[in-house]
């Protein structure tokens, strides 16, 4: 029976392999990747039968590490709206200076074989789905408790996710300073959703 891959060795190999693909292009052969990594081709194929498996491992590590960092930042806040804003800023802080890596993984996903795409997408959903559902549940509870103004929670979550991901691309393409954008999102979208008085008839926001 084949020996199961060593997790840390496999993750490190995936990071290095992605760096090779990012530098030399997605059409680089597995033989060339192995050569650049100074490992034997059978060793590389033992851990990663295809380039899709390399992308899958690298993405899972990235998203898991990101989730841990972001959750730590969110845990510093109690109000559900403050937590949403902390999440956006933490994600952008995590990727600052290395957005190109995340974008490259996105390109690699699109170029992966169809049988790997579903698996790769499922990884992203698995890492964040529970967290997103918990964030949405907190906002709904906040509405029930009168500390959040009534709103379409699903639409709010989708909007924030789209803006959050889109700003990463904008920072890569345009060198965008995100602080003014963060302030706009806070002052015009998120802060108005907060209630300072739990009385539902009081429409004032903080």
Regarding whether 112 and 33 lie in a shared domain, the answer is no
Task: Note whether 79 and 194 are within 8 A (CB).
Answer: yes
- Backbone phi, then psi, for 148, in 5-degree steps? -130, 135
| Residues of the chain above pLDDT 70, percent | 84
Cα–Cα nearest to 77, from 65, 90, 66: 90
- Among the listed ranges 23-37, 94-108, 132-146, which one has the minimum average pLDDT value? 94-108
pLDDT score of 118: 66
What is the C-alpha separation between 124 and 106, in angstroms, rounded? 11
Within-domain flag for 21: yes
Regarding whether 42 and 58 lie in a shared domain, the answer is no
pLDDT score of 63: 80
How many separate domains does the chain show? Answer: 2
107-126, pLDDT tens digit by residue? 777 776 566 666 666 666 66
The three-class DSSP label of residue 96 is coil
| Tokens, residue 168 | 């990463």
Cα–Cα nearest to 64, from 142, 124, 104, 139: 124
pLDDT score of 156: 97
Residue 159's alpha-carbon distances to 14, 84, 189, 190, 192, in angstroms, are: 32, 12, 10, 11, 16
| Tokens, residue 81 | 């709206």
96: left (phi over 0), alpha (psi -120 to 50) or beta: beta
Write the DSSP symbol of residue 176: -
pLDDT score of 114: 60
**Mean pLDDT across 51-63:** 84
How many CB atoms are located within 10 Å of the residue 169 CB?
Answer: 14
Within-domain flag for 200: no
Domain membership of residue 184 as a residue range: 51-193
pLDDT score of 202: 45
Regarding whether 151 and 189 lie in a shared domain, the answer is yes
Regarding whether 91 and 45 lie in a shared domain, the answer is no
74-83, pLDDT tens digit by residue? 999 999 999 9
160-181, pLDDT tens digit by residue? 999 998 898 888 788 889 999 9
- Who's near 70: CB < 8 A, 6+ residues apart? 87, 90, 91, 94
Within-domain flag for 205: no
* pLDDT mean across residues, the chain: 84
Indicate if the pLDDT at residue 158 is higher than 70.
yes
CATH of the domain at 35: 1.10.10
pLDDT score of 92: 92
CATH of the domain at 88: 1.10.357.10
């Amino acid at each position: 029976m084949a020996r199961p891959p060593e997790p840390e060795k496999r993750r490190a190999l995936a990071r290095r392999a992605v760096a090779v693909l990012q530098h030399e292009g997605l059409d680089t052969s597995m033989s060339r990747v192995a050569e650049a990594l100074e490992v034997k081709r059978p060793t590389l194929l033992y851990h990663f039968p295809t380039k899709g498996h390399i992308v899958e491992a690298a993405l899972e590590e990235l998203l898991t590490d990101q989730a841990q960092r972001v959750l730590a930042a969110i845990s510093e806040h109690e109000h559900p709206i403050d937590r949403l804003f902390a999440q956006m800023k933490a994600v952008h802080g995590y990727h600052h200076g290395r957005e190109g890596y995340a974008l490259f993984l996105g390109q690699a996903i699109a170029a992966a074989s169809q049988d790997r795409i579903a698996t790769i997408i499922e990884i992203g959903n698995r890492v964040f789905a529970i967290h997103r559902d918990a964030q949405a549940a907190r906002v709904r509870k906040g509405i029930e408790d009168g500390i959040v103004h009534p709103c379409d929670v699903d639409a709010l979550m989708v909007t924030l996710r789209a803006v959050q991901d889109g700003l990463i691309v904008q920072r890569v393409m345009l060198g965008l300073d995100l602080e003014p954008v963060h302030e706009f999102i806070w002052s015009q979208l998120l802060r108005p959703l907060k209630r300072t008085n739990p009385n539902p008839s009081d429409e004032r926001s903080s």
